[in-house]
Structures are given as C-alpha cells and as structure tokens.
Amino acid sequence: MSEVMAGTAGIRGRAKELDAADELAGLRARFVLDDVVYLDGNSLGALPAAVPGRLDDVVRRQWGELRIRSWEESGWWTAPERIGDLIAPLVGAAPGQIVVGDSTSVNVFKAVVAAVRLAGEGRDEILVDATTFPTDGYIAESAARMTGCALRPVAPGEVAGALGPRTAAVLLNHVDYRTGRLHDLPALTAAVHEAGARMVWDLCHSAGALPVGLDEHGVDLAVGCTYKYLNGGPGSPAYLYVRSDLQDRFDSPLPGWNSHAEPFGMRREFEPAPGALRGRVGTPDILSMLALEAALEVWDGVSVEAVRAKSLALTDFFLECVAAYVPDGAVESLTPAAHAERGSQVALRCPDAGEVMKRLIERGVVGDFRRPDVLRFGFTPLYVGFGDVERAARVLAETVGT
C-alpha cells in the first residue's frame, strides 16, 4: 500500500471511530436524507421527518375541516409567541421574549429603528457591520434615513474604537456569512452598552449551531432566520428578540393590528400589546409557522452545548482532511482556526470556485459558492457525520486536482 493510500485509510478509519462515538449520531434519523453529503445547511436546513405529516394535518384537518375555528381551537393565534418560546432556549433566552413572524429583513428594520428610539435624544449615528450580508446594510441605511441618523459602516473588530456619544445603535452579524468568522458577542455587547448605545445582533448563522447567551450577555435586541440551522424550511418565518426589561419601551416602526393591545377592537388609536407581542405586525403566515413548529421538535432532548462541541469537531476534522488530501496551494481557508472565532462553516478560497462547486454537487457533495472565489461548507451537527466530512474532503481533492 502506498503512503498516500495508507494515509487515506487511516483517516477513513478515524472517521468511523468518531462516528461510532458520536452521541448525536442518532439524530440523523429525524431528517429526510439520502446518500448525498449535504453541507449547505447554512443556507437551507434539511427537511425534518415530522414536517410533512404535520403540514398534512394543518392543511386537511385544521384548515380543511375546522377552517376559521382553528385560530382558537388549533392555536393558530398564539403560534408566534408559542414558537418563539421553543426557539428561546436555543439562543439562551427566557420565555416571553421572542416572537416569530415576518422575514429577517423586516425584523432587522423593526429592531434597528426601535434601538435608535430606545437610545434617546442626542444620539444620531448607527454603526453597521461593514462586511455584513448586503440586506442588513440596505435595511440599516433605510432605518438611518427614517430616524435622521448617519450610517457608519465599520468592521466588527473596529466597533469598540468607533463608539462615541452620538452612537445610538449597532447592528452586527454574530457569524460572518462569507467566512464563518464568529464575532465576540459578549465583549462587543458590553462595549456598546458602556458607550450608552443599543445592540442589535443578527443570529442567522449562529442560532442552532452554537450557544448565543442573549439573556446572559444582556443583548438588547436580536433577529434571526429559521431556515438554516433551525431547519424550518424555505422562507420560514424569522424571529425577533426583545429583552424583557425593554419591552414596555419597544416602539416598533411597523405597528399592525396583530401588535395592538386589543386587536379585535378595531380602534383608530394604536395601543401596543404588552411584552414581546408588540413585535408582531400582521396576520401570521400559519402554514410556514406550523411547519417550523414541527421542525423544532428535532431539538427535543438536544443540548446546544453538545451541538457546539460536535460542530467544532466536524470543522476541525474537515480542515485536517483538506490539509491531508488537497494539493498544496489549491485552496486557502478563510475560516479562523481558533475555536473562539469559528462558527459552524468552513470557507475555502480557490480559483474557479463556481465551477468547482458545480462539479462537487454533481459528485454528491453539496455546499455553495459565493462570488468571486469562495466555497462554503456548512456543518449541521444534527445530521452531518464524520464520514460525510472525510468524503467531502476527498471529493474536493479529486476535483481541484483535475
């Protein structure tokens, strides 16, 4: 056996040992999966097996038979806060602080405008992550125009030095969508508060992949999607977190009948509902909402800390396999090596990355491509195993090698 073949056999053997010792391995059966290595859960999570049957009941019985009665009898009306309480432990929040509904973009707008209003007079500047997902920047710019603030893009590492007496609100991504870099939520939140400003976190690439600690670290407001590591399905509703002691002062720029204290009173004057409910706007999107509720059942009995431990083990092993298999210089990792700075994805830069990803997908390894030259691989510990990781790195090596 050649040295290369022996090395490959040794790595495959380690993958089998790691899979055999994996306490979360049995969770894979809770999803609808095939023999494809699916490493794109950071864009769209896999389908939980409980969702199709639940949706069939929602459509056929709740909508088809009960019809309008389902708003009360099937719990449709309370779904936004009920499902919010299911998400709460996954992001380190006590019940009663998260409401589900609308898109991430809409919730970012609500949160940033509300943060400026909470900050009070004399503060007229919004800091936004200069490397953020584009929509967050667009929304922050619109929120700045609406509130009469100046918008100042800064890199997350420069936030502490950019804060000042004019800063009203800061909007940052917990994990960079392109590189997978994890930003220091506790330290940055503390710095923003010390400056007298309000902190808004976008949790799209961290919720369901690692501990967040919203309550522990005193985060003011947070938003996130549910179709990535929470596996809620394409376009599933997002969520808004409002810290409990701020709820009576949360002034949403999008008041709607669903956020009224007396929604069926049909009064001309708006009176906000108590608690996180004032983050609601219009009629909930029930089909997507209840699909998400069913999807969250996969978390029954699962520890976020155990998920984080496996996530780091998976990404460590992938980087090790890439180093062992891929020819020197063929790819460059953009993802930090330090665990404290790494989310649950690995981003690799390589020439002709779009074509490389196309060929990987043809060979049963699904990640995604970000312009101009980045391959992204997302590791969802609930259903990705170490054998998947080894196979992905091996196919990548064969692909870039040819």
Q: Where are the beta strands (DSSP E) in 302-386?
A: 332-333, 345-349, 365-366, 368-370, 374-378
| DSSP reduced 3-state for 154 | strand
Q: Please give the positions annotated as active site.
A: 133, 202, 227-228, 376
Residues 393 and 319: beta-carbon distance below 8 Å:
no
Report the interhelical angle of 3-21 vs 386-401 (nearest 10°).
150
Residues 31 and 232: beta-carbon distance below 8 Å:
no
Residues 307 and 24: beta-carbon distance below 8 Å:
yes
- Left (φ > 0), alpha (ψ -120 to 50) or beta: where does 75 sit? left
Which are the contacts of 194, defined by CB distance < 8 A and separation ≥ 6? 163
Beta pairing partners, 222? 201, 241
Compute the distance between CA of residue 392 and CA of residue 386 in angstroms, rounded to an integer: 10
User: How far is CA 278 from each of CA 92, 248, 364, rounded to the nearest angstrom?
Assistant: 21, 9, 45
Spacing of C-alpha 357 from chain mean position: 23
Residues 18 and 317: beta-carbon distance below 8 Å:
yes
